[in-house]
Each structure stands twice: as structure tokens, then as C-alpha cells.
Amino acid sequence: MTTPQSARVEPDDPADLQETTVEELARLYRQMLAIRRMEEAAAKAYSQGGKIGGFLHLIIGQEAVCVGATAAAQPDDYVVATYREHGHAYAKGVSARAILAELYGKKTGLVKGLGGSMHLFDKKKNFLGGYGIVGGHVPIAAGAAFASKYRNDGRVTLCFFGEGASTIGGFAEGVALAALWKLPVVLICENNQYSMGTPLYRSLAVEDVSLRALAHGMARDRFDGDDVIKVKRRIGEAIERARTTSEPTLVEVVTYRFRGHSMSDPGLYRTKEEVEEWRRRDPLNRCRQRLVDLGMQDAKLEELEADVRAEIEDAVKFAEDSPPADEYFPYVVKE
């Protein structure tokens, strides 16, 4: 293979078309739209010289993965993610205010403005980060799942990572332990086709990342990530397996990021046509169209979209108006 795959992994399944209500779909659409608007606002602030420092990795184009997967989980299940995790935190219930204030380095941010974009963490919501070391969080997710099994608390851990992480030692160790100890974890590879500027075919000898499960006798799945209901149903199956039999699953969701790897990446390694082709499969447009097909009135959709706009405008203002983070680190435990 020499070009990133754009063909569908499989045809649409009628089960996904039937298996939803307007209310549920509207709720998921609202979450995806809020994540997109929040990240667009972050990109704008980043470009306005110095409002957001450090790295900023956006998930725009991939929203259906974190939203669909989290919708299939219980509120107290654990989520562990990478540096591309604003959407995962939001889907887990963290407010846009807390996320944007964190990106701005403000005291009111999720981790008091000291972590920034790559280090969101919310113990109360069981959102266990936000990690900058590619693949390094997979053993951490295995550890969280081990704790759940040990305590018999019934929780499942969802671990998100990119296809590039699947070539990393930390990934190999985490997957091996998850399989060996039968840990209740769902390993979700968001295959967005590129690791920074490196296309999948230049880093992996096979295009199917989920095949790596076979080496461990682990269950696996692989499907397109542009339909939020499909993501919810298929990840839901893996969550059910983890919860009832304590068996892990490696799930590969084929998706695409519309923007560069981070804000400093103009994405010159791919053609405009390629990006356009994937934009035609935008998960938000797909979801919106489905809402129209299910009979949601234009006025209702516009009301929902205005509500999201207001939420994000409020969050930007909150981040702008908040005081900066403390200059030193006062949160060290004093012994």
C-alpha cells in the first residue's frame, strides 16, 4: 500500500441505522460538535500569539471515536488517552471551561494550569490522562485494569492511542500483560493514518493494526470511525466482553485527522485531494444528516448548535478572564 487508505473497512450495517433514537443521536452530535468548536477555539487562541503555549494536538475529524466509545461505557469506567485528548476528557464529562482554561495555562484549569494541553487529568471523572510519551500510557491502562480486577470493582478501562503507538515497546508490554492476566481493558487504536508526518505504510508492514491481537490470543475488531453509533455499538461489544469475562480486546478504528499533527504542522505530506476526500466523510455531517433523516426539525438543530456556540463562547471568556497559574509548584506533598 502506498497511499493512506480511504476505502471503507466494511459496508454500513443496518443494525447501526436502526439502533438509535433521535434523543440519543442528538446528545452524541452535541458532544461531537462541542469538541469541534472547543478545538477550533483553541486553535484560534493558539494562533493569537502566546495565549496558549506548548504543544496543541487537535482531534478534529476523529470526534466520533471518543464520543461513541465513551457513550458505550459506564460513567465510572476509566479512560486513559494520549496528548490528543481534549475530546476524550470532554466526552468523560470534563467541562469546556476547565479544558480551555487549562490550555490557556490558567489557575482555573483542570489541573490548575500546570499541565497544559497534553496533561489533562480528572480523578473525580476517572479520566486518568493525558500522556505525552507515545505508547507509554498503555501499561498504565493495563495497571488501572489490573486494579479493577484485583478490587473486583466491575470497572472497565478504555485506552486510546494512535497507530504509531502500536510500534512502540510500551504498547507491546501493555498488550502482553493485558492478555496474559486477562485484564478488563479495551485497547482502542485510533488509526488516523499518520504518525506525525509518517503514513502508516512506512511504519507498519501490515495495514491492519488489529492483527497484533493475534499474537496474544486476544479478541480484536476493526471498523470505520465516521459513524458514532457504529463506534458505540462495536466498542460496546468489547466493553461487555471486558466486564463480563475480564477479557481484553484490541479495537482498531479507522479515522482521519483533518488538521496537522500539531499546530506547527502544515501537513504538507498529504494532498489537498486526500484531505477533501476524508472531509466528505466528516462524522459530524454524517450524524447531522442522520438526525434530519430521523425527523429532527431544522429549528431544533439550530437551537442545539446555538447552545453549543454559547457554551464554547462562555468557556473562552472564562479562560481569558481567569488568573494565570501559580508561578511555582505549590502542590508538592509536604512530608
Kindly list the residues in this chain that would bind ligand TPP in the complex (CB under 6 A): 82, 84, 132-134, 161-165, 168, 192, 194-196, 261
CA 102 – CA 260 distance, rounded (Å) = 21
Taking the complex as a whole, how short is the minimal distance between the CB of residue 116 and ligand TPP, in angstroms?
14
Write the single-letter amino acid at 287. C
- Which residue is it, cell 473525580? 124
Q: Least Å distance between CB 135 and ligand TPP?
A: 6
**Complex with ligand TPP: residue 99 or 188, whichever CB lies closer:** 188
Residue 256 beta carbon to ligand TPP: minimum distance, rounded to whole angstroms: 10
User: Which residues on neighbouring strands pair with residue 252, listed in sequence order?
Assistant: 189, 222
Find the residue with minimal CB distance to ligand TPP: 162
Closest CA to 106 of 55, 59, 58, 51: 51
Amino acid at 333: V
**Cβ closer to ligand TPP: 256 or 318?**
256
Closer of 25 and 56 to ligand TPP (Cβ): 56
Query: Based on CB atoms, which residue is closest to ligand TPP, 189 or 325?
Result: 189
Give, in order, the Cα–Cα distances in Å from 236 to each of 34, 226, 230. Answer: 23, 16, 9
Smallest gap from Cβ 260 to ligand TPP, in A, equals 10
Say which residue the cell 487549562 belongs to.
Answer: 102
Cα end-to-end distance, the chain, whole Å: 57
Closest distance of CB 133 from ligand TPP, Å: 5
| The C-alpha cell that represents 37 in the structure block | 468548536
Give phi and psi for 223, each to the nearest 5.
-160, 170
Nearer of residues 240 and 274 to ligand TPP, judged by Cβ: 274
Nearer to ligand TPP, 29 or 131 (CB): 131
> Which is nearer to ligand TPP, 194 or 223 (by Cβ)?
194
CB of 118 to ligand TPP, least distance (A): 9
Q: If 0-12 CB within 10 Å is exposed, 13-18 middle and 19+ buried, where does residue 246 land?
A: middle
Q: Closest distance between ligand TPP and the C-beta of residue 173, in Å? A: 13
Gyration radius of the chain over CA positions: 19
How far apart are alpha carbons 286 and 224 in whole angstroms? 13
Residue 105 near residue 113 (C-beta atoms within 8 A)? yes
